[in-house]
A and B are shown apart, each in its own frame.
Chain A
Amino acid sequence: MARRVAVIGAGMTRFVRRAKETSRELAFGASRMALDSCGLSLNDIDCVVHGTAPDAFDGFHMKGEYLSDGSGAFRKPYLRCYVGGGTGVFAPIQGWMHVASGLFDTCLVVCEEKMSSCQPHPQGAFNSIFDHTTERPLGPNLLWIFALEMNRYMNAYGISQRDIAGVSVKNKKNALDHPAAQVAKETTVEEVLASEVLAWPVHRLMVSPVSDGAAAVILAGEEKARRLTDRPVWIQGVGWDLDTSYWTNRDLAYPQYVENAARRAYRMAGVREPRKEIHLAEPYDPFAYKELHHLEGLLLSEKGKAPEDLARGRFDREKGELPTCPSGGLMGVGNPIAAAGLMKICELFWQLRGEAGKRQVPGKPERGLAQAWGDLMQVGTVVVMGIK
Chain B
Amino acid sequence: MTEVAQNVKWIGENWKKEEVLHGKVFTFSDRPQARYAWDTGEAIGRYLAGFKQGKILGVRCRGCQRIMVPPRIFCELCFRDISEWVTLKETGRIRTFSVCYVTWDMKRIRKPQIPAVIEIDGASEGMGILHLVEAPRGDKPWERLRAGTRVQAVWKPKGLRRGAVTDIRFWRVLTGNANAGH
Q: Which residue numbers of A lie inside 8 Å of B, CB to CB?
A: 10-11, 13-21, 25-26, 29-30, 33, 37, 59, 119-121, 123-124, 126-127, 132-135, 137-144, 147-149, 151-152, 155, 179-180, 196-202, 212-214, 244, 246, 248-252, 350, 354-358, 360
Contact = CB atoms under 8 A, between A and B. Distances in A.
B57 to A, nearest CB: 13
A5 to B, nearest CB: 20
Given A141-B103, A198-B102, 17 more contacts: A16-B14, A29-B12, A133-B44, A133-B165, A134-B130, A138-B130, A143-B98, A144-B100, A147-B115, A148-B97, A148-B117, A151-B97, A151-B147, A155-B96, A155-B182, A355-B1, A355-B2
Interface string B108-125: 000001011100000000
Q: Which of B5, B30, B101, B105 has the most CB of A within 10 A?
A: B5
A357 B7 CA distance: 12
9 contacts: A20-B15, A26-B11, A124-B104, A135-B165, A140-B104, A142-B104, A198-B102, A357-B5, A360-B2
B18 interface: no
Nearest to A249: B127
B117 A21 contact: no
A126 B105 CA distance: 11
A133 B164 CA distance: 8
Contact of A179 (B10, B77, B104): B10
Nearest to B32: A59
Nearest to A199: B100
Q: Dominant SS at the A interface?
A: mixed
Given A121-B105, A137-B166, A357-B3, A213 B99 contact: no
Interface of B: 1-6, 8, 10-15, 20, 25, 29-30, 32, 36, 38, 40, 44, 47-48, 68, 70, 76-77, 95-106, 113, 115-117, 126-132, 141-142, 147, 164-166, 182
Given A123-B106, A124-B105, A155 B70 contact: no
Q: Which of B20, B102, B104 has the most CB of A within 10 A?
A: B104
Nearest to A120: B105
Contact of A21 (B11, B126, B129, B164): B11
Contacts of B115: 138, 140, 144, 147-148
B28 to A, nearest CB: 10
Contact of B129 (A140, A244, A248): A248
Contacts of B130: 134-135, 138, 140, 144, 248
Nearest to A18: B15
Contact of A144 (B14, B48, B98): B98
Nearest to B70: A134
Given A133-B40, A133-B48, A354-B2, A20 B13 contact: yes
A250 B165 contact: no
A113 B133 CA distance: 35
Contacts of A246: 68, 70, 76
Contacts of A350: 4
Contacts of A144: 98, 100, 115, 130
Given A59-B30, A350-B4, A198 B10 contact: no
B100 A143 contact: yes
A196 B101 CA distance: 10
Contact of B12 (A139, A198, A212, A248): A212
Contacts of B141: 200
B119 to A, nearest CB: 9
A26 B12 contact: yes
Contacts of A141: 100, 102-104
B12 to A, nearest CB: 3
A111 to B, nearest CB: 14
Given A21-B12, A180-B10, A249 B2 contact: no
Nearest to B7: A36
A146 B174 CA distance: 26
Contacts of B142: 200-201
B98 A200 contact: yes
A355 B165 CA distance: 54
Nearest to B141: A200
A358 B3 contact: yes
Q: Which of B129, B132, B141, B182 has the most CB of A within 10 A?
A: B129
B100 A198 contact: yes
B38 to A, nearest CB: 5
Contacts of B113: 139
A248 B117 contact: yes
A11 B9 CA distance: 11
